[in-house]
Amino acid sequence: MQPKFKKMLYGGDYNPNQWPKEIWDEDMKLFHQAGINSTTINVFSWAKIQPSENEYDFTELDEIVDTLTKEDVQIVMATSTGALPAWMVHRYPEVARTDFEGRHHKFGHRHNACPNSPVFQKYAKRLAEKLAERYGDNKNIVCWHISNEYGGECYCENCAKAFRVWLKDKYKTLDEVNKAWNMEFWGHTIYDWDEIVPPNDLGDGMPWGSGTAFAGMSLDYMRFNSDGMLNNYKMERDAIRKYDKETPITTNLMGTYKGLDYFKWAKEMDIVSWDNYPSYNTPWSHVAMTHDLMRGLKDAPFMLMEQTPSQQNWQPYNSLKKPGQMRAQSYQTVAHGADTIQFFQLRRSVGGCEKFHGAVIAHAGTADTRVFREVTQLGKELEKIGSRVMGSENHAKVGIIFDWENYWALEYTSGPNRDLRYVDQIEQMYNYFYNKNIAVDMIPIDADFSKYDLVAAPVLYMVKDGVAESLEAYVQAGGTLITTYMSGIVGQSDNVHLGGYPGPLRKMAGVWVEEIDALAPEQRNKIRFADGTEEECRLVCDLMHLEGAEEIAQYESDFYAGMTAVAKNQFGKGTVYYVGTDLSESGLAKVLAMAADSAAIQPVIGEATALEITKRQADGEDLYFIINFKDEEIPLPAVFDGKEDILTGEKVQGGEMLKKYGLRIVSVPRA
Amino acid sequence: MQPKFKKMLYGGDYNPNQWPKEIWDEDMKLFHQAGINSTTINVFSWAKIQPSENEYDFTELDEIVDTLTKEDVQIVMATSTGALPAWMVHRYPEVARTDFEGRHHKFGHRHNACPNSPVFQKYAKRLAEKLAERYGDNKNIVCWHISNEYGGECYCENCAKAFRVWLKDKYKTLDEVNKAWNMEFWGHTIYDWDEIVPPNDLGDGMPWGSGTAFAGMSLDYMRFNSDGMLNNYKMERDAIRKYDKETPITTNLMGTYKGLDYFKWAKEMDIVSWDNYPSYNTPWSHVAMTHDLMRGLKDAPFMLMEQTPSQQNWQPYNSLKKPGQMRAQSYQTVAHGADTIQFFQLRRSVGGCEKFHGAVIAHAGTADTRVFREVTQLGKELEKIGSRVMGSENHAKVGIIFDWENYWALEYTSGPNRDLRYVDQIEQMYNYFYNKNIAVDMIPIDADFSKYDLVAAPVLYMVKDGVAESLEAYVQAGGTLITTYMSGIVGQSDNVHLGGYPGPLRKMAGVWVEEIDALAPEQRNKIRFADGTEEECRLVCDLMHLEGAEEIAQYESDFYAGMTAVAKNQFGKGTVYYVGTDLSESGLAKVLAMAADSAAIQPVIGEATALEITKRQADGEDLYFIINFKDEEIPLPAVFDGKEDILTGEKVQGGEMLKKYGLRIVSVPRA
Amino acid sequence: MQPKFKKMLYGGDYNPNQWPKEIWDEDMKLFHQAGINSTTINVFSWAKIQPSENEYDFTELDEIVDTLTKEDVQIVMATSTGALPAWMVHRYPEVARTDFEGRHHKFGHRHNACPNSPVFQKYAKRLAEKLAERYGDNKNIVCWHISNEYGGECYCENCAKAFRVWLKDKYKTLDEVNKAWNMEFWGHTIYDWDEIVPPNDLGDGMPWGSGTAFAGMSLDYMRFNSDGMLNNYKMERDAIRKYDKETPITTNLMGTYKGLDYFKWAKEMDIVSWDNYPSYNTPWSHVAMTHDLMRGLKDAPFMLMEQTPSQQNWQPYNSLKKPGQMRAQSYQTVAHGADTIQFFQLRRSVGGCEKFHGAVIAHAGTADTRVFREVTQLGKELEKIGSRVMGSENHAKVGIIFDWENYWALEYTSGPNRDLRYVDQIEQMYNYFYNKNIAVDMIPIDADFSKYDLVAAPVLYMVKDGVAESLEAYVQAGGTLITTYMSGIVGQSDNVHLGGYPGPLRKMAGVWVEEIDALAPEQRNKIRFADGTEEECRLVCDLMHLEGAEEIAQYESDFYAGMTAVAKNQFGKGTVYYVGTDLSESGLAKVLAMAADSAAIQPVIGEATALEITKRQADGEDLYFIINFKDEEIPLPAVFDGKEDILTGEKVQGGEMLKKYGLRIVSVPRA
């Protein structure tokens, strides 16, 4: 069951060890002034708590916890295992990572532990245990936060050994490994488990994202690495559960971060939390998609664990958020399913590489700043509406499949076009629905498709066992499926589904793809629809033959002019759309409009508008989050006329103008 | 004597170990259907044949050979030493390479053996021996193919030791080494052989192509590396020869690949073979030049060992070959001297990084594909004309010098302009003759120049002992020589020929180059010819003084406006053209037209045309390969009117239009 | 006391070991012919002098010294420690460096010694001693030149140990280290000195110039590295002083080279010398600034140790110097304070990577070259005017602060804008004064500001203890100070001055900067002055509040339109200008014109001109160096009418035209 906080957490990272106690008192006053009711603490304090191998010292943490408890500030308690203590690396060099280039690291940075180091595991587990034992019954601790932003990889000897064990567990025999990875190719046949080398720069590997000599091996290493870190997470989680049976446990994820299979992780997390750091030029649709993905991980409300009140420090150009922008971004987050709003960070550090990262309290140390005032306004608003919003649900009839294993496989592939990127492809499809204010769920490959009227599976390159069957069942029962070029190509180990593309999807798509052309960046083709309209396409062009499907559009040029570029196939009671090339935004919109129409997909409101409108269903009412992310003023749709804005209590007027970052949260009672 | 196959090989790489035997039977049928009569097998099977140190297992290879023999498919038998078995790297880490960055590698990839590893040598030799002993008398084996695409370098301790031995052999004393490399510079004097460090990132080296602290040392390492791999080749060749005295032996080369001195290699090969992989935007003239170079290695017909039937997988944008393109490319290959056409690969792999590399048989596994049909058409044609073409000769009166040592030396040089590239410069000159359909031989620096009426030696930076003398003799006897800026600068160890540029070429060129200016990419100069026409130049500008030569063109701007930019010198009965700057295409064409005219160079046919026309002299007839590589239709020259097209048996008509990739092979009986 | 040479050194690097003795005699003749009166010798001869551990051989050096002494050529004697002998690296691998990536190097290149290697130190010291003992009383040796172009860094274990000692010496306790580096951040607290890892790629470091996890640690490593090499210098200097008490000792610096704190170094040098290698597109203002910086190091005339007579070899495009350019460049050097003109190199090497580096004597080996003639002309001129110029002084009323520690700190900072570069910012300000022919001193952060009417401190990011106080005192006493955005942010360890930007400068600037916006490269803002004129700005925009200052200009757009962008504050008897954003050249010029006017700053002459005019004050006369670096002709200002040109002895005419690279050195007697 999804945990629900008593009140909406509003606060963020707090690291008071860096400054004297006088400042703590000042902080508490400022928190209350700003409506901040929670802090995330103890994120990077391992070295402080455990100053040497056999010594633990909770004095300072006790003081922090006491101070916050006295002030009734809720606490998200981190376990501090996201950064190793210097003494541990010095004493046990194995706890540090060996990088892709084969270099064993010394002490430095963070997210730096070898996930397979027994020494790291021993002390991480012990630390989580001690924290839970000491603070597990503190009622102000409302959430445990394990480690921090898990990520990266290690290629040391410990990892090589653990990889071999993982493989033995998965494949049982070397014959199966050789077959899975097609090791006959280039004569790589393995006769002894110890001959397996992790795919890195000194072995068969090439850096993430580009090609690899044996994609099957690289895929397995990605799975192994994701699993290994997940084991680290579970180990700490279970240690905490010995002493605290109830408080929800999470770790902060990073949106579309490639390295970890978050759908698999979410199954082990009580609640999903994540860190949202768009750049100055990130489209708002991208942010919306990422929120939907994070909500989709457990199909439930999530925590926003981090965002900056104003600027970042680590991007090339760390622009300020404009007045109102942080507020609009926060409500977008809530609209897409967040039940908390938390900042990194509450007070700017005096030193270290993030000292210019935005904070609620600036280096000036005063409440008299624009940022503090904006945080305060939002704090008061959330205090007012928080409990009315929390736990409300987002529902969608469109599902877009996001599959980390497919993400890895597609981007490990050598050919046909190196510019093909997984998240780009997902995003192109998402954007159509976003622009129409059609609610979307981001769903895993093993989702219950029957909940959806339309399922999109762009570049479903890897079709694992059972996937084609479940998609067929979905379509046969009346569902609408959209898929594209570079789908149905390989199985779970990156070996090709022989017999003709799109392999196991061929039957339901009603097409056979004979060849796949690649267009260079300066090249374009065009497609023509039955109504004579033309649209551009690029990147990849399937040369396909209809096997029962009907043509939606055909190519206009090159030697395959006249061949089908987009096809539609009736299959059982449902329909499959197959898009054979990378269409322009307007071209893709035409195809998706057809599919959405035939699946009777409805937007959140009937009226077209450039406003972002998202609906959460609360008890007895629908809450519409209406936000203007455009540069020009936009009128409020007429449908909301006379409805209550829960922020102001006013009745809103259809046609009233919303400026950039202007917003309304409107309640419509549900019958 | 150049070996000649009984029939023109048409086939390619075949790696049936990857799939079950049912498929083998299907393959045989498809081969016959497509006219495929040969396969290259056993390229990467070392691990399969030798599963451990003392165990050899030829069961599967026997089956493959039997299957092919039964079907009377010719066999190019590879020795499999192009990729190490995993067990060998695991057991003897020394067999793997240490890279330029100083990192010793583990098991991975291919082309991965340290050429100086005694362990590698022992087992590679033994494997070649065993293969020859077992299969040496199989009549279907028409060629041995040693290793695969030799290349790369190693910088391990074994190599360092072997380098020192190689140097001792070459220089005898350390004094000579110090002098050759000018080690006084930066105080690098060596007093003990063991102080010599291979020029890599941890020593004196900088990556191939860019500058180096001691070019003489880097040059010697290139020579040593090329020789070391050649020794690997010779070792296997000699091992085969113990059991098979006759079958020709080759290895597949890679065109203008920089790392190996192919003219030196060709002396040890019975027949040259190479792999032709143009990109979607490689000019056809470049491909033609590379064929001419490969033919020039032994001045004899060569094997095309690999090309793709349609697309590649490892380029950034792996476009399909258009209909007719593969056929046109194949005939271009034959036109320039190939006696075989072979594909990589006959059937697409199910997995591994080349699974999207084009193949005769697609993943669909059927004959019903465009590619298979095109392969079949070509197969039938080659069956018809193959024996008529094989062994015919290409003749040319223009020779362009291509010298790997000069290539290395020029690109190791620090200054004057980092954009100066050897192959570009060769290609600029080649293109003039290509566009005129003037036959060209690509020749080594020690060629017999007397066969040519015109010899071009662009950027002949390194003039080794004896070279000036043989060029002088050639010119004095009436030859025409064209050379350029950055010629005659250094001797064989990259030490400058003192006394004024172009050093030993100064006398015959009749010019003294006082200074060499470098133009940045945004800078241009102009030259003016005697007739008042102007042309642009760039990159490098010699400031030269005439010493007997006559001026052809002079600079128009900068402080050296009015100085000679291009000169012509009578020397003995011949003429030397000296081009002092990097001319525009049209500018260079003017100078080369003068030189070609005065040397009475004739194109293949008198009529100017945009068609590529190449002539091979067969028994009693000249075969003209006429191919349209342009986007527009082009008429067949009148001179061919009424002659036989050997593909169709028809008489062709002068003026008939050839479309893009359209072609004729016309026979003209020789008096 | 600043040393003064008896005659102006005119010559350069001479490395005759590379060629036979016959050539030496030829060289001597050519030197005399060209007016060359000095050579720098023995720069890279360690391996020659000390061929093995216990053997020294001065035979060849004796011959060189004898030859030069006989010919009465002055000698700058180098100590040869800039490149290790091969035998030493072979025998004691520790003497080589470990690079930033953690790789220990083998023998190669130069500037290759680990500064903290006891073996290196032992032998370097012994070599310097032996040289001084042997040649210390040679009267022709007019200067000692230690090592060569100190630079680079090492990250080996020896350095790690030395770093810890350096830190213990600086901070005494680990608590102080943890505090200085804010090690609480990311839980990096150190409990043992041995846990400290030098900030490199395997630890906490990131490459120079980009961000770093702990800037305080990286800053200390920069200081430590600069100090360590300075200790190497001092060790050799002191060794020489045992035997030679008088001859000035120097080492050749490299302008704005980032790695070493040259102001600290200059205190240990008898005279500053440096190597001037502008590229083909380096602005002349940049060269002028760098000369002023090198003069500023000791506030005294300096040596030009190296420049090329014509081209370089190691730049991407090594253009020739045009006729007159080398002469103009040389006089610019003298104008800005040089008392010597020396070339690298006197004769071009026969081999090695600098063989295409320009030289007085070309590979042609003759005097009959343009370059030799230009060198000869200059030689004769300097012979005539040298003693009249030497020791004369440059004076300025404008000081621009250049602070290496600030340079490091600013560029280590993560945020707000990665395109912000220290030297660029200094140069923008310098250029204004340069274009007005206003003399500028480049001054250290601890300069005596009272000498100046105007002090500029662009991006004074790091304000160390005492700096604000001395700047306040300067302004209160009537000085004019200009500072900018990103000033006053941190203290000496990169910890923020809390309480509001610009920290300790806030009071005197009369502004509070609440936020700092970053503009991406494609973004711009505008500012408007009181007179309504507008100027563009970019990169960084301070959002500031006036606290007593008056507004000079305000922003035109973004949400902070109308806020102050440039402010001016009366403070005591003086004025502070605070420029809150990166202005266009014309925008900055407006602000600086205001400041210069109010500070009554005068250019060298009253008349505006595009000529570069610099003044050196000699005994009883002012020498004006008037040079045209522009493409068009420019008239000589009227003020010089009738004054003596010391080169020609003629009276010059106001209004006479100077061509590009034309110049006059005019004497105006001083009252």
Mean pLDDT of B33-41: 98
Whether chain C has a CB inside 8 Å of the CB on A282: the answer is no
Residue C604 lies in a domain: no
Indicate if A407 and A548 belong to the same structural domain. Answer: yes
CB contact under 8 A, C108 and B203: yes
Determine the pLDDT at residue C208.
59
**Chain B interface disruption, residue of C350, C354, C370, C660, most B CBs within 10 A:** C350
On chain A, the residues whose CB falls within 8 A of the CB of C216 are 351
Determine the pLDDT at residue A1.
63
- Read off the pLDDT of residues A55-91 as tens digits, 9 standing for 90 and up: 999 999 999 999 999 999 999 999 999 999 999 999 9
Which among B106, B363, B369 has the least Cβ separation from residue A203? B106
CB contact under 8 A, A515 and B87: no
Residue A200 lies in a domain: yes
CA distance A114 to chain B (A): 20
Whether chain A has a CB inside 8 Å of the CB on C520: the answer is yes
Residue B3 lies in a domain: no
- Read off the pLDDT of residues C396-417 as tens digits, 9 standing for 90 and up: 999 999 999 999 999 999 989 9
Q: Which residues of C are annotated as a binding site?
A: 110, 114, 148, 154, 156, 159, 314
Indicate if A305 and A336 belong to the same structural domain. Answer: yes
Q: pTM for the whole thing?
A: 0.97
Radius of gyration of chain C (CA): 26
Q: What is the DSSP letter of A445?
A: T
Mean pLDDT of B394-421: 96
Does A660 score more than 90 pLDDT?
A: yes
CB contact under 8 A, C186 and A48: no
- Read off the pLDDT of residues B276-306 as tens digits, 9 standing for 90 and up: 999 999 999 999 999 999 999 999 999 999 9
CA distance B510 to chain C (A): 15
- Chain-centroid distance of CA C240 in Å reads 25
CB contact under 8 A, B515 and C90: no
Determine the pLDDT at residue B208.
59
- What the block records as the tokens of A523 is 């090249």
CA distance A538 to chain C (A): 27
B314 annotated to bind ligand = yes
Indicate if A509 and A617 belong to the same structural domain. Answer: no
Indicate if B200 and B286 belong to the same structural domain. Answer: no
Whether chain C has a CB inside 8 Å of the CB on B522: the answer is no
Give the active site residues of C: 149, 306
Residue B607 lies in a domain: no
On chain C, the residues whose CB falls within 8 A of the CB of A364 are 498-501, 512, 514
Strand partners, A443: A401
CB contact under 8 A, B499 and C322: no
Residue A329 makes CB contacts below 8 A (sequence gap 6+) with A276, A278, A287, A307, A321
Choose one of B179, B199, B219: the last residue of a domain.
Answer: B219
Indicate if B50 and B189 belong to the same structural domain. Answer: no
Whether chain A has a CB inside 8 Å of the CB on B46: the answer is yes
CB contact under 8 A, C352 and B213: yes
Mean pLDDT of A639-657: 97
Choose one of C189, C219, C249: the last residue of a domain.
Answer: C219
- Read off the pLDDT of residues A522-555 as tens digits, 9 standing for 90 and up: 999 999 999 999 999 999 999 999 999 999 999 9
CB contact under 8 A, A362 and C514: yes
Identify the sign of the CA torsion C534, C535, C537, C543. Answer: negative
On chain C, the residues whose CB falls within 8 A of the CB of B562 are none
Mean pLDDT of C233-249: 98
Residue C606 lies in a domain: no
Indicate if A487 and A631 belong to the same structural domain. Answer: no
Parallel, antiparallel, or unpaired for β B621-627 and B634-635?
unpaired
**Chain C interface disruption, residue of B103, B190, B192, B414, most C CBs within 10 A:** B414
Does B207 score more than 70 pLDDT?
A: no
Indicate if C271 and C359 belong to the same structural domain. Answer: yes
For residue C127, report the phi and psi dihedrals to the nearest 5 degrees: -65, -45
Q: Please give the residue of chain B at the shortest CA–CA distance from A205.
A: B108
Give the active site residues of A: 149, 306
Whether chain C has a CB inside 8 Å of the CB on A17: the answer is yes
Parallel, antiparallel, or unpaired for β C612-618 and C657-658?
unpaired
Task: Please give the residue that has the higher pLDDT: either C4 or A23.
Answer: A23
On chain B, the residues whose CB falls within 8 A of the CB of C281 are 520
Identify the sign of the CA torsion A418, A421, A422, A427. Answer: negative
Determine the pLDDT at residue C209.
60
Q: What CATH number does the domain containing C66 carry?
A: 3.20.20.80
Determine the pLDDT at residue A210.
60
Determine the pLDDT at residue C17.
86
CB contact under 8 A, A351 and C416: no
Residue C603 lies in a domain: no
**Chain B interface disruption, residue of C46, C105, C106, C148, most B CBs within 10 A:** C106
For residue B122, report the phi and psi dihedrals to the nearest 5 degrees: -60, -50
Contact B398, B603 (CB under 8 A): no
On chain A, the residues whose CB falls within 8 A of the CB of B320 are 515-518, 543
In 3D, which of B164, B216, B152 has the Cα closest to residue B405?
B216
- Name the residue range of residue A211's domain: 157-219
CA distance C417 to chain A (A): 5
- Read off the pLDDT of residues A569-582 as tens digits, 9 standing for 90 and up: 999 999 999 999 99
Mean pLDDT of A565-572: 98
CB contact under 8 A, A415 and B357: yes
Determine the pLDDT at residue A205.
86
- Sequence letter at residue A135: Y
CB contact under 8 A, A105 and C187: no
On chain B, the residues whose CB falls within 8 A of the CB of A493 are 351
Does A158 score more than 90 pLDDT?
A: yes
- Read off the pLDDT of residues B67-94 as tens digits, 9 standing for 90 and up: 999 999 999 999 999 999 999 999 999 9
Contact A646, A388 (CB under 8 A): yes
Mean pLDDT of C23-35: 97
Any chains having at least 3 CB pairs less than 8 A from chain B are: A, C
Contact B464, B436 (CB under 8 A): no
Whether chain B has a CB inside 8 Å of the CB on C354: the answer is yes
Least trusted range by pLDDT, from C134-148, C211-225, C253-267: C211-225
- Read off the pLDDT of residues B516-537 as tens digits, 9 standing for 90 and up: 999 999 999 999 999 999 999 9
On chain A, the residues whose CB falls within 8 A of the CB of B357 are 415
Does B404 score more than 90 pLDDT?
A: yes
Q: What CATH number does the domain containing A566 carry?
A: 3.40.50.880
For residue B482, report the phi and psi dihedrals to the nearest 5 degrees: -115, 125
Name the CA dihedral angle for A114, A117, A121, A127, rounded to a multiple of 10 degrees: -60
Give the active site residues of B: 149, 306
d(CA A239, CA C75): 76
CB contact under 8 A, A90 and C498: no
On chain A, the residues whose CB falls within 8 A of the CB of C543 are 320, 370
Residue B172 makes CB contacts below 8 A (sequence gap 6+) with none
Q: What CATH number does the domain containing C629 carry?
A: 2.60.40.1180
Which among B187, B189, B498 has the least Cβ separation from residue C365? B498
Report the domain count for chain B. 4
Any idea what the Cα angle at residue B621 is, between residues B619 and B625, rounded to 5°? 115
d(CA A203, CA C495): 43
Mean pLDDT of B335-362: 96
In the numeric block, the tokens 């990132």 are attached to: B201
Whether chain B has a CB inside 8 Å of the CB on C477: the answer is no
Q: Please give the residue of chain C at the shortest CA–CA distance from A313.
A: C415
Choose one of B389, B406, B431: the last residue of a domain.
Answer: B389
Indicate if A163 and A144 belong to the same structural domain. Answer: no
Contact A444, A452 (CB under 8 A): no
- What the block records as the tokens of B466 is 């004896």
In 3D, which of B424, B428, B418, B482 has the Cα closest to residue B256?
B424
Residue A118 makes CB contacts below 8 A (sequence gap 6+) with A158
- Grouping H, G, I as helix, E, B as strand and the rest as coil, residue C431 is helix
A156 annotated to bind ligand = yes
Indicate if C149 and C161 belong to the same structural domain. Answer: no
On chain A, the residues whose CB falls within 8 A of the CB of C205 are 108
B154 annotated to bind ligand = yes
Indicate if A248 and A327 belong to the same structural domain. Answer: yes
- Read off the pLDDT of residues A479-520 as tens digits, 9 standing for 90 and up: 999 999 999 999 999 999 999 999 999 999 999 999 999 999
Determine the pLDDT at residue C665.
98
Q: Please give the residue of chain A at the shortest CA–CA distance from C203.
A: A108
Indicate if C58 and C39 belong to the same structural domain. Answer: yes
Residue B1 lies in a domain: no
What part of C 162-221 touches A (C-beta under 8 Å)? 181-182, 184-192, 194-195, 197, 199, 201-205, 211-216
B537 annotated to bind ligand = no
On chain B, the residues whose CB falls within 8 A of the CB of C109 are 186, 204, 213
Residue A246 lies in a domain: yes
Indicate if C344 and C288 belong to the same structural domain. Answer: yes
